Amino acid sequence: MNIKAYIFVFSFISIAINAFSQQFIEVKSIRQSTRDYSEFGANYFEDGIVYCSNKRDDIIISRQGSENQSFYNVYFIPPSKISKKQNTEFLDASINKLYNDGPLTSNGSVLVFARNYEKNKGAKDKTNTVGLFVSNKINNTWSEPIPFPYNDEKYSLSYPSINKEGNTLYFSSDMAGGFGEYDIYVSFFKDGKWSAPQNIGKSINTSSKEISPFIFQDNRLYFSSNNDSLNKFDVFYSDFIDNNWQTPFRLADPINSKDNDFAFICDSTTENGYFTSDRKGSDDIFKFFSTLPAFETCDSMLEKNYCFHFAEGKTVDLDTIPVIYEWDFGDSTKEKTFEADHCFPGPGSYNVSLNMIDTITGDIYKMIASYLLSVDDPIGPYIVCAENAKVNSAIEFDASQTNMSENKIDQYVWLFSDDKKFVGQKIIRSFEKPGVYRINLGVTFDKDESGTYQKKCVFKDIVVE
């Protein structure tokens, strides 16, 4: 990875704990990655992805910088071509200009991208800094890009990331007043204009370089830093809790490696996405995906209920008869009352009867009602665990009481709201922070006619103090 090139968005003159259980993640370079050129900075755009590359656009003519490398342009991969090795589309000419362009971010109605400033040939300062440019979609057409109001040729603004609402913009900059060489900043769109950039603070920014922010659901920020890995960039994330960014966590292998890893993005599940790495020599874009089955919906778990209320509509006038009512529940327990609440020891079939008992002889005077009661466990995954737990204490989660009727279970998958994932009928884990955690238990079972495993998922919550 050419650190100078990417920090300045290709200035060609002056140059742990994981968010998800990554033992279930695989990575592969996308088919558009090349051996001889660099590709980086993938981002979602119009149902496909955009990325930057300095590949040659023409066999004969290719614009080059002082390092004899082609300038970077932004390319678009339509949805139909993402998994195919086909030519990508050169993005709109209003974005790809004379010098380096990209990376790009968009929420569908606002588009922000980075671009080198054009220097006069006679300028004494040959440093090509980078600014941000903004375009809006009007009548299904992108407007002519305008400079971000806080651009300044004295420093660079790069790696933009805009939220889904289009009103919060994160980026990396070496502007004065930061904590390190490059910090991450945020700007808000209010009353028709962007606010002055704010440094997001030293919980994320260090004395080194923090680049390529990616805002996820407004409360999690992925970014890369070279503060903790011998000057190589690793991907981290931080959650926004109680109006503060929390201590960042480094993603584990295979997202991070011994080489530079940056420009991470992911979908709403956090289990699929893209990042850039030079682990194969040149900068390439890699896609990552989960090897675990996806559970699109999880239902609230039905608790086992072996308790019932018994009342019989038929009555007999007992004023002149020396008898009492008695319920026989068929599990060796009886109760002398006309209405009763009873809990059975477990699932099974029980012969339940309401009898009139002669108080003198103790014999059954008359049977009022009799029926066979079937007590069943709920069909579906079933979670057994403590309702409350202590921070950093080992807790067992048991799925052995799962009842899938006659279906043969293939796999148990545990999905926790802190993005931890496990497989197995029983697992043991602890929680590092207090709070209410949601536990999702998914099972795959008998394949359907198409050969695909069927799936069922339930959830329950646990309180950690």
Q: State pLDDT tens for residues 64-96.
A: 444 545 688 888 888 766 655 555 555 655 565
pLDDT tens profile 320-362: 678 899 999 999 999 999 999 999 999 999 999 999 999 888 8
Query: Does 380 score more than 80 pLDDT?
Result: yes
Query: Does 60 score more than 70 pLDDT?
Result: no
Q: Which of 16-20, 100-104, 172-176, 452-456 has the lowest mean pLDDT?
A: 16-20
Q: How far apart are the first and last CA of the chain?
A: 44
**CA–CA dist 442, 431 (Å, integer):** 20
**123 or 359: which leads in pLDDT:** 359
Cis? peptide before 254, omega within 30° of 0: yes
The pLDDT of 113-120, averaged and rounded, is 79
Domains and CATH numbers, the chain: 3-290 (2.120.10.30), 305-375 (2.60.40.10), 378-464 (2.60.40.10)
Tokens 């680049």 correspond to: 211
pLDDT tens profile 231-261: 799 999 999 988 999 999 999 889 999 999 9
Residue 74's pLDDT is: 87
Q: Which helix (H) or strand (E) holds 213?
A: strand 210-216
pTM for the full model? 0.69
Start-end of H helices in 46-141: none
- Kindly state the tokens that stand for 280: 């194969």
pLDDT tens profile 199-234: 999 999 999 999 999 999 889 999 999 997 677 999
The pLDDT of 35-51, averaged and rounded, is 90
**Cα–Cα distances in Å, from 20 out to 153, 173, 297?**
39, 28, 19
Report the mean per-residue pLDDT for the chain. Answer: 86
Query: Does 379 score more than 50 pLDDT?
Result: yes
**CB neighbours of residue 127 within 10 Å:** 15
**59 or 16: which leads in pLDDT:** 59
Query: Does 23 score more than 80 pLDDT?
Result: no
